[in-house]
Structure 1
Amino acid sequence: MKKSRKPRRPDVASVELVGGPEKYELGLCSYDDKWADTYLDHRRRIRDALGDGYFEIEHIGSTSVPGLAAKPIIDIVVAVDDITAEEDYLDPLLAAGYELRVREPRHRLVRTPERDVHVHVYERDDPAIGEYLLLRDHLRRNVEDRVLYERTKRNLLEKQWDDMNDYADAKTEVILEIKARARAACRY
């Protein structure tokens, strides 16, 4: 059952990083079939927290790609009707045991206290969701780009990262190249 859309309120105007920058300390692990089960457990937990509203939930990131080494953090994207109506999704997710990490324009991030599951919340139809799914689906199908992406991550992890966000930003160029190939492959 789809909730009726509420009037939009102004979104946050700046980035709030709860707890400040965090040093990157996790390495890559070989793909683990348990990651899919962990996703399904959290999908149920999120559904239970959010109730019967119309929410889309997808497993994204490297742990969603069989065969791809990843840091052992399950990334999940949740699409909501109105990102500014935090009482509809943020309060229930916090009550379900997730902790707020990021509040920024068009995006919220909650995670488990153990930091092993990150839940990215976007408004339905936000282009970021399509970008996540484009990369995930292409890496699931394309061995060459999956190998390139893993090699890039391994090379970057040879450096010291004072902030996990800096590590993520360093992957951007390769991710953009892979997504360009994914878009080209979709045209044929």
Structure 2
Amino acid sequence: MSINRKPRRPDVTTVELVGGPERLELELHDYDDGWPAVYLTHRHRIEATLALISVDIEHIGSTSVPGLAAKPIIDIVVGVEDITAEEDYLEPLLAAGYDLRVREPGHRLVRTPDRDVHVHLYERDDPAVEEYLLLRDHLRADAEDRALYEATKRKLLNRRWDDMNDYADAKTDVISAIKARARAARAV
């Protein structure tokens, strides 16, 4: 624990899925050169909204990887100092027009009302942030793994998904293998 860090409050201990499970209409789009601009628009909106606190903001997910087909949902990760200090970040983001979707231990998710931008909030030193960046950076650099990941997503299109979380879980083995190769490549 850092000396400058505020005392932590207990975090939530359960998963709250606001609105319950949602049926997923899965449709991959070819990479869109406009996705980075959408990210930047929301990055600036988040920076302005959270100007009173220190945050780290990154574009993650498939829309952050040039050339990769993706669901047209911009994923953003925001690192905050203390995930339990929701008054510092959650209340301002809700006031700025984002909707709360998930509150779970160590993680909050807000999204636009149109559900086309998902903002994942973690403490900045949470290993999940590094995992997102590891996958993103490797897929940007490795055409073979990028093609494998896209082929996996296309294969999963043939199934019916009653919840986006189920779709995400179905990709876990491939993502784990890609991240293992990414770690090995970093070690060289």
Give the TM-score taking structure 1 as reference length.
Answer: 0.97
Residue aligning to 1:113:
113
Rounded to whole Å, the distance in 2 between the matches of 1:185 and 1:121 is 28
CA-CA distance at 1:145 after TM superposition: 0.1
CA-CA distance at 1:53 after TM superposition: 2.0
Secondary structure in 1 aligned to 2:118?
Answer: strand
Deviation string 1:124-146 (CA, Å, 9 cap, x unpaired) is 11000000000000000000000
Rounded to whole Å, the distance in 2 between the matches of 1:93 and 1:6 is 21
Residue aligning to 2:129:
129
Deviation string 1:146-182 (CA, Å, 9 cap, x unpaired) is 0000000000011111111100000000000000000
Residue aligning to 1:33:
33
CA-CA distance at 1:6 after TM superposition: 1.9
Secondary structure in 2 aligned to 1:180?
Answer: helix
Moved over 6 A (4+): none
Residue aligning to 1:43:
43
Q: What is the aligned length?
A: 185
Rounded to whole Å, the distance in 2 between the matches of 1:135 and 1:52 is 30
Matched to 1:168, the amino acid is A
Residue 156 (1) aligns with residue 151 (2): no
Residue aligning to 1:95:
95
Which range moves more in the overlay, 137-146 or 51-60? Answer: 51-60
Return 5+ residue gaps in structure 1 as ranges: none
Matched to 2:118, the amino acid is H
Return 5+ residue gaps in structure 2 as ranges: none
Residue aligning to 1:79:
79
Matched to 1:100, the amino acid is L
Matched to 2:21, the amino acid is P
CA-CA distance at 1:54 after TM superposition: 1.3
Give the percent of matched residue pairs that are identical in Structure 1 and Structure 2: 75
Rounded to whole Å, the distance in 2 between the matches of 1:52 and 1:104 is 24
Matched to 2:139, the amino acid is L
